[in-house]
Each structure stands twice: as structure tokens, then as C-alpha cells.
Amino acid sequence: MSRLIQVRTKASEYDGEFRWQAAGMSYLIVNEAHEYAVIDGGQELDDIDELYRLMREDCGHDAVTVKYWFITHPHADHYRALQRLAESGLRTGRIIAEKLIFSIPETFRVCTADLGILRSLPEKLGAEYVEPSAGDVFGFGDLTFRILATWRDVPDPYDPNELSMILSAEGRRKKAMFTGDAYRAGLSALVRRLREAGETDLLKSDIVQVAHHGLNGGDVDFYHYVGAETAMVPISKSGYLAINAPRDRCCTANRFAQDRALTVIYAFTGNYSAEL
């Protein structure tokens, strides 16, 4: 049985005054053959240490290989842990990344430094870079990863969050949907495209990562088609309190995803594992 783990990042432990701080985002996917994929991974070396601990406990080896490392978009709380791994030398004998999978524009009106850092990571890590497009499928063992949208599918993106890649991970039993920090424009464009193609079943999932840490973002139609019974929210304790009181800090769409789910898991409560 394959597993999806929502990892408690260092940033998700924050419980001070909330000023829209990001909470980090880190997901580890493990199959029965002890093969691994990571989505984002957080922003601190502590986050790398936690990923390494989880993989080492699973396989019992000092050296672990991540077959696919997906980065949803160029915001530090999503990719900087991988940068710190590249700069620290910890990969030697510990974590090896085989393929880095992300899609970013050559230039953008903001986040120029982030784009440069991301582009440099494959060489620094000795990993193969794969630029994905909507419709691409990756897999190993019983796991299938499907790219549903990249920034190229967003009409006139204006914010780095709108560069978020949307992808799913499916095992023999369940399927999870990942949205990064996607805003409504990208998700609604994806829904329209799949409706026109008669392929909205591609959205149906058992688990959904709620967009943008449960803050502003998401799309009601998208969450309706996903129909997930479990919602995972990569958010800190202070962020959780902020989006619940006052309630206007959390947009209607992200609240819809949480209210319709039977189970809602927040990253600050600890690592959470679900079968795929």
C-alpha cells in the first residue's frame, strides 16, 4: 500500500502574531517498494531532516533516493528546503534527487531571484530537470502522477501563486490532488478545459491539498469536481486561527473544501499519513 504523508514543516509550528506568513508545504509519497516522491518539501534544513528521517525509517538505509521531486511554484516556502539541501552538501550519502519536475517562466514581473534559484537547482543537485506540461504522466510502482495544469494554462498570470502546478498522485486505492498556492483563475481555467473535453473525472480525488494554505485562493467549482473526503491544509497554528477568526481571512472556496470534507488535517498538528 502506498502512502501520502503531510509533513509538519518548521514554519507550520509558528503560533505568533499572524501577518500572512507562509507555513511551508511538504508532502512525501511512499510506495511498498520504498520508492519516494516529494512535493515541494518546505523551506528549512529542519524540513529536509524530517523528510530524511521519514524515508530512512521506511527503508532502513542511510542513503535514500527521491525519484520525483515536484516543485509547484517559485515561492520560498515551497522550494527553499531543496535549495538548502543543494547548498549544504547533505545529499552526499543521504538524499539523492533523481528528477526535479517544475515549470516556471523565463521572466516574470516579480520573483526574479526565485526563478534563478530554481533553474540552478538541477545542476547543483546532479538531478535531471524535467519541464512538465498539462497531460504529462509520470509513475513508478503502483503510483501515477498526472500533471493537470502549469502556469502556461493560466490566463495572464499576475502573481507567483498563479504559477502553481496542479497535479494528482494516484495509488491502487486512492487519489490525491495538489494545488500549491493556486488562485481561482488557474483552477477555473482548468475546470473549463476539462469540461469542454469531457474529462472532469480527472479531477475526482479522495484527498485534496487546500490551495494557498487555506488562505485566499482555490475555486468552488474545482473543489466540487474533486469531491474529496479528506482535506489537507499546510498551515501554521497562527494561520489557522487567523482564517477562522475573523472568518474573512479565508476565502469562500477554501472554506467550501474544508466544510464539505469529512476529515480536515492541518499541518501544525503533526505528520499525517493516508493510504493511496
Query: Which pLDDT score, from 0 to 100, does residue 252 have?
Result: 85
* CATH number where 181 lies: 3.60.15.10
Domain count of the fold of the chain: 1
Answer yes or no: is pLDDT of 31 > 70. yes
Residue with the bigger pLDDT between 87 and 245: it is 87
Quick one: cell of 43?
Answer: 523551506
pLDDT in tens, 70-101: 999 999 999 999 999 998 865 555 899 999 99
For residue 1, give Cα distances in angstroms to 17, 143, 160, 209, 259: 40, 10, 35, 20, 28
CA 10 to chain centre: 16
Quick one: cell of 33?
Answer: 517498494
- Rounded CA-CA distance 116/217 in Å is 25
pLDDT in tens, 160-214: 999 999 999 999 999 999 999 999 999 999 999 999 999 999 999 999 999 999 9
Query: Which pLDDT score, from 0 to 100, does residue 258 have?
Result: 94
Residue 34 DSSP code: -
Tell me phi and psi for residue 52, to 5 degrees: -60, -40
Query: Which pLDDT score, from 0 to 100, does residue 21 have?
Result: 67
Q: How many CA atoms lie within 13 A of 4 on its CB side?
A: 29
| Beta carbons within 10 angstroms of residue 100's beta carbon | 22
In which domain, by residue range, is 199 found?
A: 3-275
